[in-house]
Amino acid sequence: MAEIKTTAGTVVHVDAGGISVLTLGTGGTVLGGLGEQVTTAEAPEALLARLSLTKGFARLTRPDGSALWVKGAAVSLVREPLATEVPPDGTVKAVVLAGGHYAVSEDVRTAMAWINANGGAL
Protein backbone atom coordinates (compact mmCIF):
# COMPACT_ATOMS: atom_id res chain seq x y z
CA MET A 1 0.00 0.00 0.00
CA ALA A 2 1.07 3.53 -0.76
CA GLU A 3 0.07 6.71 1.02
CA ILE A 4 -0.93 9.68 -1.09
CA LYS A 5 -1.93 13.03 0.33
CA THR A 6 -4.77 14.51 -1.69
CA THR A 7 -5.08 18.18 -2.53
CA ALA A 8 -7.93 18.26 0.00
CA GLY A 9 -5.45 17.23 2.71
CA THR A 10 -6.76 13.68 3.15
CA VAL A 11 -4.28 10.81 3.20
CA VAL A 12 -5.47 7.88 1.14
CA HIS A 13 -3.98 4.40 1.02
CA VAL A 14 -3.88 2.93 -2.47
CA ASP A 15 -2.55 -0.10 -4.27
CA ALA A 16 0.08 1.68 -6.36
CA GLY A 17 -0.16 -1.12 -8.92
CA GLY A 18 -3.69 0.03 -9.69
CA ILE A 19 -2.60 3.44 -10.96
CA SER A 20 -2.86 3.36 -14.76
CA VAL A 21 -2.76 7.01 -15.83
CA LEU A 22 -1.48 10.32 -14.47
CA THR A 23 -2.33 13.73 -15.86
CA LEU A 24 -1.38 17.16 -14.64
CA GLY A 25 -4.41 19.40 -14.31
CA THR A 26 -5.02 22.82 -12.81
CA GLY A 27 -5.83 21.21 -9.47
CA GLY A 28 -2.74 18.97 -9.33
CA THR A 29 -1.79 15.49 -10.49
CA VAL A 30 -4.84 13.36 -11.26
CA LEU A 31 -4.43 9.60 -10.83
CA GLY A 32 -6.56 7.25 -12.91
CA GLY A 33 -7.35 3.57 -12.50
CA LEU A 34 -8.12 3.58 -8.78
CA GLY A 35 -11.90 3.37 -8.99
CA GLU A 36 -12.29 7.01 -8.01
CA GLN A 37 -10.42 10.13 -8.93
CA VAL A 38 -7.51 11.00 -6.64
CA THR A 39 -5.76 14.36 -7.02
CA THR A 40 -2.50 15.22 -5.30
CA ALA A 41 -0.18 18.22 -5.29
CA GLU A 42 2.79 15.88 -5.79
CA ALA A 43 4.36 16.25 -9.26
CA PRO A 44 3.78 13.23 -11.54
CA GLU A 45 7.49 12.44 -11.96
CA ALA A 46 8.11 12.70 -8.22
CA LEU A 47 5.11 10.52 -7.40
CA LEU A 48 6.12 7.82 -9.90
CA ALA A 49 9.68 7.85 -8.55
CA ARG A 50 8.54 7.68 -4.92
CA LEU A 51 6.28 4.71 -5.70
CA SER A 52 9.01 3.02 -7.83
CA LEU A 53 6.74 3.08 -10.88
CA THR A 54 8.80 5.22 -13.26
CA LYS A 55 9.94 2.29 -15.47
CA GLY A 56 6.39 1.08 -16.17
CA PHE A 57 4.95 4.40 -17.38
CA ALA A 58 5.28 5.93 -20.84
CA ARG A 59 5.18 9.72 -21.09
CA LEU A 60 3.05 10.86 -24.01
CA THR A 61 1.82 14.30 -25.06
CA ARG A 62 -1.80 15.42 -25.02
CA PRO A 63 -3.12 17.70 -27.78
CA ASP A 64 -2.84 20.75 -25.51
CA GLY A 65 0.88 20.04 -25.02
CA SER A 66 0.52 18.71 -21.47
CA ALA A 67 1.93 15.34 -20.45
CA LEU A 68 0.08 12.06 -20.05
CA TRP A 69 1.79 9.25 -18.16
CA VAL A 70 0.25 5.88 -19.00
CA LYS A 71 1.08 2.48 -17.53
CA GLY A 72 2.28 0.39 -20.46
CA ALA A 73 0.69 -2.83 -19.14
CA ALA A 74 -2.69 -1.08 -18.82
CA VAL A 75 -2.91 -0.11 -22.49
CA SER A 76 -5.27 -2.36 -24.40
CA LEU A 77 -5.38 -0.53 -27.72
CA VAL A 78 -3.64 2.18 -29.75
CA ARG A 79 -5.22 3.39 -32.99
CA GLU A 80 -5.35 6.24 -35.44
CA PRO A 81 -7.97 8.82 -34.49
CA LEU A 82 -11.35 8.96 -36.16
CA ALA A 83 -11.98 12.05 -38.29
CA THR A 84 -14.27 13.37 -35.53
CA GLU A 85 -11.43 13.11 -32.98
CA VAL A 86 -8.96 15.32 -34.86
CA PRO A 87 -9.15 19.05 -34.09
CA PRO A 88 -8.61 21.58 -36.89
CA ASP A 89 -4.95 22.01 -35.90
CA GLY A 90 -4.36 18.27 -36.44
CA THR A 91 -2.64 17.73 -33.09
CA VAL A 92 -4.23 14.32 -32.41
CA LYS A 93 -2.23 11.58 -34.10
CA ALA A 94 -3.24 8.55 -32.01
CA VAL A 95 -5.79 7.40 -29.45
CA VAL A 96 -4.73 5.27 -26.48
CA LEU A 97 -7.12 3.14 -24.42
CA ALA A 98 -5.97 2.46 -20.87
CA GLY A 99 -9.05 2.33 -18.67
CA GLY A 100 -10.09 5.48 -20.51
CA HIS A 101 -9.85 7.11 -23.91
CA TYR A 102 -6.82 9.43 -24.37
CA ALA A 103 -5.92 11.44 -27.47
CA VAL A 104 -2.19 11.99 -27.95
CA SER A 105 0.05 13.97 -30.30
CA GLU A 106 2.48 11.10 -31.01
CA ASP A 107 1.76 8.98 -34.08
CA VAL A 108 0.60 5.38 -33.58
CA ARG A 109 4.04 3.84 -34.21
CA THR A 110 5.80 6.17 -31.73
CA ALA A 111 3.10 5.79 -29.06
CA MET A 112 3.26 1.99 -29.36
CA ALA A 113 7.06 2.00 -29.11
CA TRP A 114 7.04 4.07 -25.92
CA ILE A 115 4.20 2.03 -24.41
CA ASN A 116 5.89 -1.29 -25.26
CA ALA A 117 9.20 -0.03 -23.83
CA ASN A 118 7.33 0.49 -20.55
CA GLY A 119 5.59 -2.85 -20.09
CA GLY A 120 3.06 -2.77 -22.92
CA ALA A 121 2.39 -5.76 -25.16
CA LEU A 122 1.02 -4.25 -28.34
> Domain residues of the chain, as ranges?
2-116
Assessment of whether the complete model's pTM goes beyond 0.75:
yes
Per-residue pLDDT, 90: 83
Q: What is the chain's pLDDT, residue by residue, as a tens digit (122 residues)?
A: 899 999 999 999 999 999 999 999 889 999 999 888 899 999 999 999 999 999 999 999 999 999 999 999 999 999 999 999 998 888 999 999 998 999 999 999 999 999 999 999 99
Cα separation, 106 vs 60, in Å, equals 7
Per-residue pLDDT, 89: 87
Rounded to an integer, what is the distance from CA 9 to the centroid of its chain? Answer: 23
